[in-house]
Amino acid sequence: MNRTEAKEKAAALVAKMTIEEAASQLLHSSPAIPRLGVPAYDWWSEALHGVARAGTATCYPQAIGLGATFDHDLLQAIAASIALEARAKYNAYSQLQDRTRYKGVTMWSPNINIFRDPRWGRGQETYGEDPVLTATLGCAFVEGLQTKQDGYLTTAACAKHFAVHSGPEALRHSFDAKATKKDLWETYLPAFEALVKQADVEAVMGAYNRTNEEPCCAHSYLMEEVLRGKWHFQGHYVSDCWAIRDFHEGHHVTAFPEDSAALALEKGCDLNCGCTYEYILQAYKQGKVSEEEIRRSAVRLFTTRYLLGLFDHSVLDEIPYNVIGCKEHRELAYQAAVESCVLLKNNGTLPLSLKDKKRVAVIGPNADSHAALVGNYNGTPPLSITVVEGIIRICEDTDWDVNYAEGCLLYDDPAIRKVFQNYRIPEAVALAESCDLAILCVGLDATLEGEQGDVGNAFASGDKPDLLLPKIQRDLVEQVLATDTPVILIDLAGSPIDLSAYEDQVSAILHAWYPGGEGGRAIADILFGRVSPSGKLPLTFYYNDSPLPDITDYRMTGRTYRYLEGKPWKPFGFGLTYGELQITEAKVSEAEHTRENSSAQITLHCQNPTGRDLSDVIQIYVHVNGSANEVPNHKLAAFERIRLEAGTDRELRIEIPAVAFTTVDDSGNRNCDGTSATLYVGFAQPDLTAEGQKTYEYGRGQILEIPLH
């Protein structure tokens, strides 16, 4: 069914409704209208990295881990599998007359906000700090969720949170995010534009905060001029949950709930997650809301329901419940976990060999933590394999002796009675001293970083106070290192953790994010060389003592690899493998230049000279020369994951879109104003030397120059 047909059917149905009935459909929990054959429907469902909060479902790595895969094909496949599981749940629950929250097929994912500040607790829900990476992976995720069968959408995706939203969590209900036009169009809006114009995302969700004084769920510029005007968005707009209530309670742009409802509806917010639209009829009676506005939004919402085939029979109704957590989906989750893990340091210890008899200690609060596998906005994985469980599976029936000690709590919780401070650390130290190797699993979970109010959180309502491990974990690491037993450090966290203090003392560092239900199996397979790690950092890992702008400062100056001054601990795009692919040739094979438009095609020859199958990510960065509006460093233009068997080679072509050769001026206009462009082609971003020259310390790449006309 196409949109025109769906809209016609929606308009005909809404025309039969009373004004009261139409208004009732604008709340996330929409009641049934029996006389018109309209069943109840709750719009609120989540699918960030698997069907969330609706019971058992395949749990993929947290979104930031999916960002680390740099693999758009994988994300589309994952999202398509999530859509199948969501539809299977909807079919089963509907048969049981269960139409409650989290059981629908309108999925409020993906989160395509920019992870601009490493302290932001919800950064784990994003694909990282770069707009091109975010846009590419976000489009793939939307296309997967909105896979069509029988002409209908399997599920409907939602781009959130529009726009300019990335903390602070504690202030979001009253905060005004100030963004320049340049930052808006260069950083904060490109991913939303791509999802609307390229992926045809069905819904957009407004943020809690204000942006440049207007609340994001009633924003003249963002919603009317940009979204509906410039981008011609045809889907529906939904508020974040209880965000419209913030108009009068937090932002104080209105005085009463009726005014808040009227303002949001006028600006085009069709669906209210929350309760403020319960006042729409009262606002209507007061003359603050028109019947036309109410019916306009109802038509948009029913257009989505028709596009989903919710009033027609189709093959989607036959998707069986047994697709949920099936073996195929779990293997996809395993692949994603492998591709997401980022090897930050390796002195040659990894991969481990099972040939030698060893006694190993697996230590740390995240070694046997199921919470550290799933992050937030998660479902319950059908099988949840922790790190120590994964290691035990590999080592059983071998001469390796695996031992476990928790070592310490995730953080020092005063509510938990202890014999004395750090009382579990001595056990971990004693175990490490008795072993040949210690695998130390540290990090965070959703109780230490996440959404404001989502969990009982010790640190700043979801945001982190700094980039260090909690103090009790630092004590554990330092005391285990003092034993002189070789240590492999595994970090499970949804954001950057500065482990530089231990880098010279440990054999290897693996950042595993929140790797999903199959995470322990994937990590163990990486440790023992069954697979090679191949994840890349989707955001900059800063030194904790480097000055960061205040989290309330939304200017991009000094933020992310594009604007960073100085050298980070680990750069965006960085990640080691067990061997190195090589680019033996790179050239601009085709280039199109016009006054308004320049695009290019890069031809690469890549080889794997090692004896191991490898996967890596080719990254192409661009810097436009001769433009005063270009970012200070360079910017990601394109990327492609490549897999090469041992001893093989391959030629591939990568398109560099015309937009990569443009810059954004202070008025937010995108221009072709450069004289030439420098392209950096490699397996990481170019590195800045002390002299300010761009080299490839990590990237093993080549530098190309092309003219722009």
Task: Show the domains of the chain with their CATH numbers.
Answer: 1-37+158-307 (3.20.20.300), 327-538 (3.40.50.1700), 582-707 (2.60.40.10)
Give me the catalytic one of 240, 246, 445, 616: 240
Cis peptide before 191 (omega within 30 of 0): no
The torsion angle over the Cα atoms of residues 319, 325, 328 and 334, rounded to 10 degrees, is 150
Q: Burial level of 417, CB count in 10 A (0-12/13-18/19+)?
A: exposed
Banded pLDDT at 701 (limits 50, 70, 90): confident
Tokens, residue 246 = 């913030």
pTM exceeding 0.95: yes
Q: In angstroms, how far is the first alpha carbon of the chain from the final one? A: 44
- C-alpha–C-alpha distance, residues 8 and 525, integer Å: 53
Amino acid occupying residue 537: L
Residue 614 pairs in a beta bridge with: 644
Question: Of 611, 595, 533, 537, whose CA–CA distance to 115 is shortest?
Answer: 537
DSSP state of 557: T
- Amino acid letter for position 265: L
Q: Which residues pair with 617 in a beta bridge?
A: 641
Q: How far is CA 390 from the centre of its chain?
A: 25
Rounded to 5 degrees, φ, ψ at 551 are: -65, -20
Burial (CB count <10 Å: 0-12, 13-18, 19+), residue 206: buried
With cut-offs at 50, 70 and 90, classify the pLDDT of residue 418.
Answer: low
> 540-586: per-residue pLDDT in tens?
999 999 889 999 999 999 999 999 988 999 999 999 999 999 999 99
Structure tokens at 298: 């109802």
Q: Give me the pLDDT at residue 593, please.
A: 63
Residue 663 has a pLDDT of 98
pLDDT on residue 692: 59
- State which amino acid sits at residue 206: G
| 255 token code pair | 């005085």
SS3 per residue for 560-588: HHHHCCCCCCECCCCCECCCCCEEEEEEE
CA 246 to chain centre: 26
Please compute, for residue 667, the number of CA atoms within 13 A of its CA located in the half-sphere on the CB side.
3
Token pair of 652, please?
């591939």
Task: Supply the pLDDT for residue 566.
Answer: 87
Mean pLDDT of the 3-8 span: 98
Mean pLDDT, all residues of the chain:
95
Q: How many percent of the chain have pLDDT more than 90?
A: 91
Q: How many C-beta neighbours within 10 Å does residue 35 have?
A: 10
Residue with tokens 């989607």: 316
Q: List pLDDT tens digits, range 221-276.
A: 999 999 999 999 999 999 999 999 999 999 999 999 999 999 999 999 999 999 99
Q: Which residues pair with 629 in a beta bridge?
A: none
Catalytic annotation on 399? no
Residue 689 has pLDDT above 70, yes or no: no
